[in-house]
Amino acid sequence: AALVVDGHEQAGPALGADGTDQAAKLGGRGDVAAEEDHAEGIDLAQQGAGLAAPQIGVNLQLVIFGFSNNARYPDAPPVPETVLLNPVITPLSDEMEEGWEGCLSVPGYYENVERPLHIQVRALDRNGVPFEIKPEGLLAVCIQHELDHLNGKLFVDYLSNLKRQRIRKQLEKQH
């Protein structure tokens, strides 16, 4: 089934994180709104720059991001709360850049990760309307990080096996 927003069927299916079509089961707009509310709550509580639906057990290809003047990223220009549904990233060049990343799902660890510097992102907005952006800087990093979550990938998967195993062991110790 397609994603239904306010009774209108949207272009393209709403895919679950496992690639299956979940929109019919989860019921469109209500879940988008719930995810947004939840994400904004987490954002305020944890100063997160973004969140992917699967991080909070919502099986949709949906991410939310946005930050005002964040103490953790004083040089980043503010970005309004933005929802991406069924997002697709295309790198626009081979140029890569390293940046520090952390993740709410890997608490307490920050590492440098190399990602494409110039990207184009196509998605549906919170009303199901297609749009396209070419984010730069922290925003580009953040969006790539969030889209990875939709594919079950974490920033630690870009690190060496040694570093990832060290982090895994330390996280396991805390439980």
Site residues (CB under 6 A) for ligand GNR? Answer: 48-52, 55, 101-105, 141-142, 145-146, 149
Choose the one of Ni ion, ligand GNR, none that binds residue 49, judging by a C-beta under 5 to 8 angstroms depending on kind: ligand GNR
DSSP 77: P
Residue 103 sits in the site that holds Ni ion (CB under 5 A): yes
Q: What span, in angstroms and rounded, lies between the C-alpha atoms of 55 and 48?
A: 12
Q: Is 9 one of the catalytic residues?
A: no
Site string (55-94) toward Ni ion, x via CB under 5 A: ----------------------------------------
Q: What span, in angstroms and rounded, lies between the C-alpha atoms of 21 and 35?
A: 17
Q: Minimal CB distance to Ni ion: which residue?
A: 103
Is the CB of 31 or the CB of 43 nearer to ligand GNR?
A: 43
Judge whether 56 and 38 are in contact, CB under 8 Å: yes
Is the CB of 32 or the CB of 139 nearer to ligand GNR?
A: 139
Q: What span, in angstroms and rounded, lies between the C-alpha atoms of 151 and 17?
A: 6
Element (H, E) at 44: helix 29-46
Residue 117 sits in the site that holds Ni ion (CB under 5 A): no
Is the CB of 28 or the CB of 50 nearer to ligand GNR?
A: 50
Residue 53 sits in the site that holds Ni ion (CB under 5 A): no
Residue 147 sits in the site that holds Ni ion (CB under 5 A): no
Element (H, E) at 114: strand 111-116
Which has the closest alpha carbon to 135: 36, 37, 66?
Answer: 66
Is the CB of 102 or the CB of 116 nearer to ligand GNR?
A: 102
Binding piece for Ni ion, criterion CB under 5 A, among 26-34, 61-69, 96-104, 115-123: 96-104
Burial class (CB in 10 A: 0-12, 13-18, 19+), 160: exposed
In DSSP terms, 67 is beta-bridged to 79
Catalogue the active-site residues.
146
Q: Which residues of this chain interact with Ni ion, rule CB under 5 A?
A: 103
